């Protein structure tokens, strides 16, 4: 009963927009006018930042998509936390502002003279705005911070809720934001166009929260299926399916929202892609037991088959390729998908970002030098990848908080025993734990896990991820005796193929 009500609440608002064609068309035109119209060449906005916690920290104004990030401006706060600058604008836009570790969303339009006050690093503390443009930005800041507060109420995120708990929280979210919207428009002077835009922005945000919850449910279900299959147990498919079947999968497929860089809409599309493309393909791989290498081709075909506006399809294919390139690197399958995208969308605005990402992978293709990095052993000795030249190196990127990493350790011990008599191989276990004491405690309690253990300093973890294009941990890499890449996506210790992959470079001389 409750699940059916959530479907009605969500789909009703969308169906009303669809059925009331004049209203729907008006909203699209309104968004085009407000965030899509071009201004004069010399249009600009002035921003002054006063930060209480982020002193001498970087300041960035970014445009985000799920494909790329464009930095429009960057500077630093001074020793007092102050920073002021003028930003040229070609059109009004929603942007992300980064003040050190503090992030927020800001709406900018020509003539704005905005003072932004940061009073707390926590994402649930809204930025405070004054000056020209403050009214709309205080609204946006309050809504965004309170959406996050409600999503994480009582210290439990959406991924920790069952359906009934989510329904209660979702109703609370909609009621809180709607009441605030009504009170704000009655007490603060906003144009009717701005009020309508903010109301629609909230609708998109509600849909995004629902898609996010559905993603967690579907993803948890997929993980349970994998675990059940691995242990030879039956999975209660019908029970789980009934729990999630009434969560709506309908979203407005609106080209105007996409092409004007509307961040909430891009996030909504991201979860929609996960729920309708990525997870179904993963389930198909589980059921059919076909090669996982085919996943990029399968998801690409599913998007092509879908009933999408062409601009939405282009975006989803680009998003999909970006995901699989990050997950698999350059393979025959990802190459095929990318070549097809370039033929089909020769003038795509996504091509520069995708080409850059692809070229970054080419730089770490087999035969190229492994990017340098260094870490420290439990005894405090510095070890770099260069120090290990002359040996084949099997790198295990892991962390104590990573369940799949820990699950591979027994297999890692057995693998090391297989090569115990070979002095030409080094097993390098690279911890990305930011809390060094967690890593040291783990190794103290499991002294049977041999190999060379190092921990990466917290401020160097991100550069390691960037250099090696890490999708996450665990990640496994093989480097040859000359310090060159053999395989950026090496098999896990539990994979039967790993021994053969290690024997191949061991058989070669420098």
Structure tokens at 1: 């009963």
Q: Using a cut of 0.95, tell me whether the model's pTM lies above it.
A: no
Q: Annotate 59-89 with DSSP letters as a single string.
A: EEEEEE-SS-EEEEEEEE--TTSEEEEEEE-
Q: Does residue 342 lie within any of the structural domains?
A: no
Residue with tokens 């060094």, as numbered in its chain? 436
pLDDT of res. 111: 94
Residue 492 is part of a domain; what is its CATH number?
Answer: 3.40.30.10
Task: Give me the pLDDT at residue 102, please.
Answer: 93
Domain boundary among 103, 124, 151: 151
Range of the domain at 459: 374-506
Rounded mean pLDDT for each run of 10 residues along the chain, 510 residues in total:
33 39 46 50 86 94 84 94 94 92 93 94 88 96 95 93 90 96 94 92 92 90 78 57 57 82 88 94 86 95 96 96 93 97 96 95 95 96 96 97 92 96 96 95 95 96 93 94 95 94 86
Alpha-carbon span 205 to 145, nearest angstrom? 12
Give the model's pLDDT for residue 66: 73
Output the DSSP codes for 1-61: -HHHHHHHHHHHHHHHHHHSHHHHHHHHHHHHHHHH----TT-EEEEEEEESS-TT-EEEE
Residues, the chain, total?
Answer: 510
- Domain-embedded: residue 186: no
416 within a domain of the structure (yes/no):
yes
Whether 110 is in a domain gets the answer: yes
In a domain, 61, yes or no: yes
Measuring CA to CA, which residue among 129, 157, 141, 58 is closest to residue 94? 141
For the record, the structure tokens of 425 come out as 């191989």
User: Which of 315, 204, 263 shows the shortest CA–CA distance to 69?
Assistant: 263
Query: Is residue 109 situated within a structural domain?
Result: yes
The last residue of a domain, from among 117, 151, 185 = 151
- The answer to whether position 141 is within a domain reads yes
* CATH number (domain holding residue 76): 2.60.40
434 in any annotated domain:
yes
Domain boundary (135, 151, 167) is at: 151
Q: How many domains does the chain have?
A: 2
State the Cα–Cα distance between residues 198 and 140, nearest whole angstrom.
Answer: 8
Q: Which residues of 365-377 are buried (b: 16+ CB within 10 A; e: fewer)?
A: eeeeebeebebbe
Token look-up 């707390």 returns 120
């Amino acid at each position: 009963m409750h699940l059916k009500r959530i479907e009605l609440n969500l789909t009703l608002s969308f169906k009303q927009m669809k059925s009331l064609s004049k209203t729907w068309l008006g909203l699209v035109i309104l968004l085009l006018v407000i965030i899509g119209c071009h201004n004069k060449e010399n249009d600009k906005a002035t921003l002054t930042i006063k930060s209480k916690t982020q002193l001498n920290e970087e300041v960035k104004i970014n445009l985000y998509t799920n494909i790329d990030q464009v930095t429009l401006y960057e500077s630093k706060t001074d020793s007092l936390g102050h920073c002021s600058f003028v930003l040229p604008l070609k059109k009004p836009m929603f942007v992300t502002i980064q003040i050190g570790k503090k992030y927020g969303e800001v709406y900018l339009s020509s003539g704005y003279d905005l003072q932004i006050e940061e009073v707390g690093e926590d994402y649930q503390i809204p930025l405070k705005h004054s000056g020209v443009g403050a009214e709309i930005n205080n609204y946006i800041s309050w809504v965004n911070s309170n959406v996050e507060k409600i999503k994480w109420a009582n210290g439990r995120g959406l991924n920790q809720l069952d359906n009934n708990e989510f329904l209660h929280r979702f109703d609370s979210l909609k009621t809180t934001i709607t009441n605030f919207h009504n009170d704000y428009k009655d007490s603060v002077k906003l144009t009717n166009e701005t009020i309508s835009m903010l109301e629609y922005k909230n609708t998109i945000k509600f849909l995004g929260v629902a898609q996010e919850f559905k993603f967690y449910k579907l993803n948890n279900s997929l993980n349970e299926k994998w675990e059940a299959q691995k242990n030879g147990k039956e999975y209660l498919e019908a029970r789980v399916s009934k729990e999630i079947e009434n969560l709506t999968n309908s979203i407005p497929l609106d080209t105007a929202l996409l092409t004007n860089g509307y961040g909430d809409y891009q996030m909504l599309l991201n979860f929609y892609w996960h729920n309708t493309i990525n997870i179904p393909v993963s389930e198909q791989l589980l059921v059919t037991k076909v090669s996982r290498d085919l996943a990029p081709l399968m998801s690409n075909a599913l998007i092509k088959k879908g009933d999408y506006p062409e601009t939405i399809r282009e975006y989803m294919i680009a998003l999909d390729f970006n995901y699989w390139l990050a997950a698999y690197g350059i393979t025959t399958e990802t190459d095929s998908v990318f070549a097809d995208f370039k033929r089909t969308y020769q003038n795509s605005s996504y091509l520069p970002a995708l080409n850059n990402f692809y070229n970054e992978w080419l730089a770490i293709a087999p035969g190229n030098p492994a990017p340098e990095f260094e870490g420290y052993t439990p005894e405090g000795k510095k070890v770099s990848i260069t120090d290990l030249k002359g040996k084949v190196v099997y790198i295990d990127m892991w962390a104590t908080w990573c369940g799949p990493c820990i699950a591979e350790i027994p297999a890692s011990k057995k693998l090391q025993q297989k090569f115990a008599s070979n002095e030409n191989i080094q097993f390098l276990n690279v911890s990305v734990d930011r809390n060094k004491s967690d890593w040291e405690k783990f190794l103290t309690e499991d002294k049977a896990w041999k190999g060379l253990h190092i921990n990466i300093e917290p401020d160097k973890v991100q550069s390691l991820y960037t250099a090696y294009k890490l999708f996450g941990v665990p990640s496994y890499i093989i480097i040859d005796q000359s310090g060159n890449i053999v395989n950026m996506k090496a098999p896990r210790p539990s994979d039967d193929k790993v021994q053969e992959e290690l024997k191949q470079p061991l058989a070669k001389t420098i």
